[in-house]
């Protein structure tokens, strides 16, 4: 079952039916997910991993469905709901199917491999001349159609990076450790190249934030930060002047064309539009995907806060705050479990803690990228919630077993003394 889930991740991320249109006529994604659902229903042993993050997920689903139902904005709303239903269905399958350590490791490792193939294919097509010309530069795009915009693609790349950290610490065998770490290094280098080639300022800020935060969370923080300080100028000097000027517009708008400043103003307008819509419908907003219809510029909100309050209202805003809060609580709880388990087991692997922390870091990246992107309906929110919930469940169970073993040993020793 777990490999079927990894297969769907590849279909959803890489989207071969959009790369090769002939596959689109076969509706392979829909047929595949229906087949997986049938297999799970009739042949797979099902169990649910309880976790506090389920509650904000249910609240978020309710907010989206209520907002869509209460509004007449069905033309765009139905498309958002259709895509969201696929994301939620996959998450339900994860909760029903993934229970143990082995399955979680396969799932998270599979996600990293799937995304590496997606980046590699997109970069190959970019080198072959597939790009868009905007803001005075040739910008890399994703191989798919659903999220191939330079900013969306760059954001996807940045949001995948936290999961190379768990893979880095996964293997214990020397040979496998070398192989996985070489792969992680290749993944990171390719990700940096892809982000640079997108010309996405928001993605570049997210990349730098991820690197600095990961360095600070490491016990080798001093060495990593020093390496970062040394490598950044080298990478900067290898970039084309046009790309350098593009990224300099983050701090100096005069370095780029006039439409670069207009892009920034468009994001500010997204917030204003969201506030206007919120004032008119404060409870459930104007419906998923409605920002385009009500924006004076006829554009997406390009801002998470503006998108959420305008399209989903107060219920949606509460749902996302609730979800981020539970991401944080799970991370703090995992640190507590890890402290106990590592004291009871000398060679205890930090893998599960690192997975949980990766989701926490990804949630911070989603909020940061949300300052300049409409990412409320990204799959990352709910997929990563499922990853974290299962990792917390596995770590908690492992810790409880170690505590129980210690108590049995203590009682055995005391009984022997008496």
The DSSP annotation for 170-234 comes to T--SHHHHHHHHHHHHHHHHHHHHHHHHHT-HHHHHHHHHHHHHHHHHSTTHHHHHHHHHHHHHH
Chain center to CA of 150: 17
Given pLDDT bands bounded at 50, 70 and 90, which one contains residue 189? very high
Cα angle value 278/361/287 (rounded, 5°):
20
Neighbours of 176 (CB within 10 A): 11
Cα angle value 106/107/111 (rounded, 5°):
110
Mean pLDDT of 357-382: 92
Give the position of tokens 């915009």.
Answer: 149
What is the structure's pLDDT at 188? 94
Which of these, 415, 402, 361, lies nearest to 159 by C-alpha position?
361
Which of these, 201, 109, 187, 190, lies nearest to 155 by C-alpha position?
201
Neighbours of 219 (CB within 10 A): 7
Residue 260 has pLDDT above 60, yes or no: no
| Between residues 364 and 245, the one the model is more confident about | 364
Return d(Cα 127, Cα 9) in angstroms, integer.
Answer: 25
Express as a percent the part of the chain with pLDDT over 70: 92
Residue 262 has pLDDT above 60, yes or no: no
Tokens of 277: 């819509």
Express as a percent the part of the chain with pLDDT over 90: 30
Lowest mean pLDDT among 168-177, 253-262, 381-390: 253-262
DSSP 100: S
With both helix axes pointing from N to C terminus, report the angle between 74-97 and 379-417 in degrees, rounded to the nearest 10.
Answer: 20
Which of these, 279, 283, 278, lies nearest to 315 by C-alpha position?
283
- Is 13 in a helix, a strand, or coil? helix
Return d(Cα 35, Cα 54) in angstroms, integer.
Answer: 25
CB 391 within 8 A of CB 349: no
CB 257 within 8 A of CB 135: yes
State pTM to two decimals. Answer: 0.89
* Pairing of β 137-140 and β 131-134: antiparallel
CB 391 within 8 A of CB 325: no
Chain center to CA of 228: 23
Given pLDDT bands bounded at 50, 70 and 90, which one contains residue 133? confident
Q: What is the mean pLDDT of the chain?
A: 85
Given pLDDT bands bounded at 50, 70 and 90, which one contains residue 191? very high
What is the structure's pLDDT at 11? 87
DSSP 281: S
Mean pLDDT of 39-55: 77
Return d(Cα 67, Cα 58) in angstroms, integer.
Answer: 14
Helix (H) or strand (E) holding 137: strand 137-140
């Amino acid at each position: 079952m777990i490999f079927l889930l990894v297969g769907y991740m590849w279909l959803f991320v890489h989207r071969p039916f959009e790369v090769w249109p002939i596959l689109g006529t076969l509706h392979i994604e829909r047929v595949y997910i229906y087949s997986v659902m049938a297999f799970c229903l009739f042949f797979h042993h099902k169990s649910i991993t309880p976790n506090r993050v389920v509650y904000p997920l249910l609240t978020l689903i309710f907010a989206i469905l209520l907002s869509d139902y209460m509004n007449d904005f069905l033309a765009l709303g139905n498309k958002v709901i259709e895509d969201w239903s696929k994301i939620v269905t996959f998450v339900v399958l994860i909760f029903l199917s993934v229970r143990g350590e082995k399955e979680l490791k396969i799932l998270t490792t599979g996600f990293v491999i799937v995304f590496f193939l997606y980046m590699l294919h997109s970069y190959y097509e970019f080198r072959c001349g597939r790009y868009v010309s905007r803001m005075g530069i040739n910008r890399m795009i994703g191989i798919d159609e659903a999220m191939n915009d330079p900013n969306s693609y760059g954001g996807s790349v940045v949001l995948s990076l936290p999961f190379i950290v768990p893979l880095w610490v996964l293997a214990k065998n020397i040979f496998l450790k070398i192989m996985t770490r070489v792969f992680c290094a290749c993944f990171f280098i390719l990700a940096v190249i892809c982000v640079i080639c997108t010309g996405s300022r928001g993605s570049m800020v997210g990349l730098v934030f991820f690197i600095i935060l990961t360095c600070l969370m490491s016990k080798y923080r001093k060495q990593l930060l020093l390496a970062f300080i040394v490598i950044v100028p080298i990478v900067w000097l290898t970039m084309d002047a046009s790309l350098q000027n593009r990224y300099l517009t983050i701090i100096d708008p005069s370095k780029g064309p006039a439409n670069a400043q207009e892009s920034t103003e468009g994001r500010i307008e997204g917030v204003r539009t969201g506030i206007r819509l919120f004032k008119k419908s404060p409870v459930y907003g104007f419906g998923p995907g409605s920002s385009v219809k009500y924006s004076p510029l006829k554009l997406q909100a390009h801002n998470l806060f503006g998108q959420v309050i305008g399209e989903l209202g107060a219920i949606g805003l509460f749902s996302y705050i609730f979800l981020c809060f539970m991401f944080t609580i799970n991370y703090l709880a995992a640190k507590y479990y890890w402290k106990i388990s590592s004291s009871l087991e000398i060679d205890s692997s930090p893998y599960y803690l690192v997975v949980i922390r990766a989701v926490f870091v990804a949630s911070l990246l989603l909020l940061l990228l949300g300052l300049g992107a409409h990412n409320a309906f990204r799959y990352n929110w709910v997929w990563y919630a499922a990853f974290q919930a299962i990792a917390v469940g596995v770590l908690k169970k492992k810790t409880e077993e170690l505590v129980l073993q210690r108590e049995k040993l203590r009682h055995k020793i005391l009984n022997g003394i008496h």
